[in-house]
Amino acid sequence: MSETITLYVDGACRGNGKDSALGGWGAYIVTATEERKIFGGETQTTNNRMELTAAIEGVLACPKSAKLIIWTDSNYVKQGITEWIHGWKKKNWKDVKNPDLWQKLDSVCQGREIEWNWIKGHSGHAGNEMADQLANLGADQTAKNLTAVLENNTEDKKKAESDWLFDDPFGLDFAGEEAEPVEPECVEDEVSESTIPMEMLQDSQKQTTTMHPHIVITPSTVEAIGPRQLILDTETTGFYFQDSDRIIEVGAIEMINRKLTGSSIHIYINPEKEVGDSVNVHGITDEFLTDKPKYAEIADVLFDYLKGAEIIAHNATFDMNFLNMEFKRTGHGALSEVCEVTDTLAMAKSKHPGQKNSLDALVRRYEIAQRDRTFHGALLDAEILADVYLAMTGGQVSFDIDALSQSEQQQGTSGRRQVDETGLAVILPSEEELAAHETWVKQIEEKQGKSCFFSK
């Protein structure tokens, strides 16, 4: 009789679909005699690719003779492999997103007995929560490896031959520009899948927690200087902070100079009361919250992380009323007294009067990548709100020399025309000067890894 293995798989992605995205995948493998935990990650990816990778790696880690009972909180994966894939094959994978991973998943499943199941994410199921922790651990490890790679690149650059423009003696370097993203395959080599014993997993998790084991603080991976903005969301037991409803989840991600730094905080909280009908909104059960800390146990750490920043929230009055109430209970005073608050719902109503301005409506209006929001989650909603906020306030801002030059050209055409009309002498460069310039431009392009505006 063949062995039966239960497999929980999950993916995670911070900055979904962006060049700076950090992804992770995890698989929790349960047999009759043992438990195994594997995880990994990569950069410049998406949540769907990480969900698929988790399924692929989880299946590959199991004997081909075993019967697999697979649980995933991604309808994309479950329906894709059990329903949609047949039509995709008939169309020869035309217009299918992530065809490489779908074909690989199809291949590794051939000849196996597999039962695919869907489970609600963040619903308190121990197997799904473990897979989620492993996926986030994979993303954390990817961030650490990426930081190490960037630091090594920085050291290598310091050792490079000196050049007046490279060294920027006049302080004209492009302030605030992000480091070039590392090629995904380089990170994959360093963050390959790994099977780890429980004690190693616990040691790794301690690196991303502070004070209480259920407070998860992720360190920043991007150096930035400027005022902190925290895109924040909460989940609660109900709508009325005056009538004993409590916070059960807080999630916030950090942004400085319109760039996500990678830093975030995420906490589940025992509300000391039943969640009631609110479980239909967020999917967080009483059973899941039983071992989570009470607000008083996490208040110090959360207050220190939030204070002094600009809090950005959708329908911020709701979140701030609850946070103020909870912090007053613990003797910290109102959070709104130490933070500036920006309400994106009020902004949206001002920009789009008479229209729907829910988070889902804004995601559709600004054509932001869709995520599975069957259930609301504080950290997921904060990540979505970050995209919405940037879109509403003008999109991602960067120091774009090409755009600046074009703008100056449009605004200063008349001024330059007056200079041209004075009949100034035009001195053309020699062939030697042109050749030297071309060589110099190529050096710049090799250093920056992209086209130099001097060559245009």
- So which residues are the catalytic ones? 376
Q: Is 381 annotated as a binding residue?
A: yes
Label the pairing between strands 259-268 and 212-218: antiparallel
- Number of Cβ within 10 Å of residue 317's Cβ equals 13
Rounded to whole angstroms, the Cα distance separating 318 from 424 reads: 65
Task: Specify the residue for token string 């899948």.
Answer: 193
Q: Is 233 annotated as a binding residue?
A: yes
Most distant CA atoms of the chain, gap in Å: 94
Q: Is 235 annotated as a binding residue?
A: yes
Rounded to whole angstroms, the Cα distance separating 223 from 231 reads: 18
Determine the 3-state secondary structure of 269 from DSSP. coil
Return the structure tokens found at 245. 């409803």
- Number of Cβ within 10 Å of residue 105's Cβ equals 20
Task: Specify the residue for token string 């031959």.
Answer: 161
Angle between helices 295-306 and 316-329 (to 10 degrees): 120
Angle between helices 47-60 and 126-159 (to 10 degrees): 110
N-terminal to C-terminal alpha carbon distance within the chain: 69
Residue 135 amino acid letter: A
Q: What are phi and psi of 11, to 5 degrees?
A: -125, 160
Q: Please list, in sequence order, all residues whose beta carbon lies within 8 angstroms of the beta carbon of residue 329, skipping any fewer than 6 positions away.
A: 295, 296
Query: What's the CA dihedral at 286, 289, 290, 296 to 10 degrees?
Result: -130
Q: Please list, in sequence order, all residues whose beta carbon lies within 8 angstroms of the beta carbon of residue 299, skipping any fewer than 6 positions away.
A: 326, 327, 330, 332
Rounded to whole angstroms, the Cα distance separating 332 from 335 reads: 8
Q: Please list, in sequence order, all residues whose beta carbon lies within 8 angstroms of the beta carbon of residue 398, skipping any fewer than 6 positions away.
A: 176, 177, 178
Contact 228, 308 (CB under 8 A): yes
Label the pairing between strands 340-343 and 209-210: unpaired
Give the residue numbers of the binding site: 233, 235, 282, 381
Give the residue numbers of the binding site for substrate: 233, 235, 282, 381
